[in-house]
Amino acid sequence: MDFKDARRNLQIAHFLKALRQEQNLTMEELSRLSQVPLVHLASIEEGKFSRFDDFYLKLYLKKYTATLDVDLEQLYTYATQQPLPEVVEAPAEQKRNMTRMQADISSVPKSVAETKPKRSTATIKAANIAQLEAKLKIKRFLVSLVLLALVGVVIFFVITLIRDLPNRETEPPPQAITNPHPITVPTTAPAETEPVTEPVVTEPQVMPEDTTSTSFYDHSGGVQTIMVQTTHDELILRFEHTGQNWFDHANLNGVVHSINATYNDTFELDFELESGENRLFIRMGALHAVSSIYINDVEVEFISSGINGPQSFVFYIEVE
């Protein structure tokens, strides 16, 4: 999928916005369901794809379309088969074309884009209505059960009160009872005892531990992509070798760190991270000589079998 044509991007953006409005979703609801920031959704619906790099653009578009129950590759295939508009369609014209557009997207053959079957909007609404009716029936049953229980309790107390009325009318008035034994008052007051104060035990506060997690994302064109999530504001990257290896340079968020050195056992780099998203690029000379890779002492999954010679790594790091 290529998103370099500005007019094509604007056409795709209008399709996405029309699909969202057809499902009666606001931008805020879509942001909450898709976990994509609201400002990024606004840029996507305005067709401003150039604000993102290729990786994050595809990631946000997949989350957007998955929330709307539409496949991104099918939508892209449909858009590329349509003529580029000379002018932007008015909202009323977009609404009239919604039914035809959804039918066309659904009719793209699997030979063009392999997708899993999607439920239509009508099927989803019917399922939601059935679930709502079932919940309402259960709620009515529970309310009826509670009301019957309350009525039974009231009837029980009324019957008990009616049975006790004759006995209460014939009961004799209460008589005063005197103690036949004299009460002696001690002449000396008992010794006062000091109150015992128990020591206050405070439980130690448990501080949250810093955590780091990694996951392998992609391998193509001599570049392996690793996703990293961490609560650290520092990243320690360590390569362990079984043979000789060299490293050229490291690029963190556009800043190049020159290395140009050869190592035989262990190579380690220490970086300070910015809050939010960080991107680290590393180039090495011999991947087959690398036995293990660690980030903040957490081992990283990577592909080494069958690869000889230079290799590059891209680490997308999210600081929480």
Nearest Cα residue to 8 out of 81, 108, 65: 81
Query: Which residue, 66, 81, 113, sits at the end of a domain?
Result: 113
Q: Which position has the higher pLDDT, 262 or 41? A: 41
Least Cα distance to 19 among 73, 81, 66 occurs for 66
Residue 286 has pLDDT above 50, yes or no: yes
Q: Average pLDDT for residues 296-308, to the nearest whole number?
A: 88
Q: How many C-beta atoms surround the C-beta of residue 199 within 10 A?
A: 5
Which pLDDT band, with edges at 50, 70 and 90, does 190 fall under?
low
In a domain, 205, yes or no: no
Give the mean pLDDT of 15-21: 91
209 confidence band (pLDDT: 50, 70, 90) = low
Residue 62 pLDDT:
92
Domain tally, the chain: 2
Cβ atoms of 242 and 291 within 8 Å: the answer is yes
Residue 223: its pLDDT value, please? 92
Domain CATH for 92: 1.10.260.40
> Please, what is the average pLDDT of the chain?
79
Q: Is residue 255 part of a domain?
A: yes
Q: Is residue 197 part of a domain?
A: no
Q: Which residue has the higher pLDDT, 215 or 200?
A: 215
- For residue 161, being part of any structural domain is answered with no
- Residue 184, pLDDT above cutoff 70: no
pLDDT of residue 312 exceeding 80, the answer is yes
82 occurs within a structural domain: yes
Last residue of a domain, one of 71, 90, 113: 113
What would the mean pLDDT of 196-202 be, rounded to a whole number?
Answer: 65
* Torsion sign over Cα 90, 3, 102, 17: negative
CATH number reported for the structural domain that contains residue 231 in this entry: 2.60.40
| Pick from 56, 25, 29: nearest CA to 314 | 56
What gap in Å lies between CA 40 and CA 31, rounded to an integer? 9
Domain membership flag for residue 261 = yes
**Structural domain for 293, as ranges:** 212-319
Asked, for residue 207, whether it belongs to a domain, the answer is no
Token representation of residue 117: 């079957």
0.85 surpassed by pTM? no
Q: Given 113, 147, 164, which residue is the final one in a domain?
A: 113
**DSSP structural state of residue 306:** T
Nearest to 298 by CA among 226, 208, 220: 226
- Lowest-pLDDT range of 129-133, 173-177, 298-302: 173-177
Asked if residue 235 has pLDDT above 80, the reply is yes
Query: According to the per-residue pLDDT averaged within each range, which of 116-120, 124-128, 195-199, 308-312 is highest?
Result: 308-312
- Which pLDDT belongs to residue 37? 93
pLDDT at 272: 92
Return the percentage of the chain with pLDDT > 90, whole number: 34
Most confidently modeled range among 72-76, 187-191, 193-197: 72-76
pLDDT at 114: 41
Region 195-209: mean pLDDT is 62
pLDDT reported for residue 105: 56
pLDDT 10s digits, 86-115: 544 444 454 555 555 555 555 544 433 344
Partners of 281 in the β-ladder:
251, 314
pLDDT digits (tens, 9 = 90+) for 59-82: 999 999 999 998 988 888 888 887
Whether the pLDDT of residue 196 is over 70: the answer is: no
The span from the CA of 123 to the CA of 131, in Å, is 12
Q: What pLDDT score was predicted for residue 102?
A: 55
Q: Looking at per-residue confidence, does 22 or 88 come out higher?
A: 22
- Confidence category of residue 284, pLDDT binned at 50, 70, 90: confident
Check pLDDT > 90 for residue 207.
no
d(CA 95, CA 68): 16
Q: Please spell the DSSP secondary structure of 155-169, one letter per residue.
A: HHHHHHHHHHHHHHH
> 225 lies in a domain?
yes
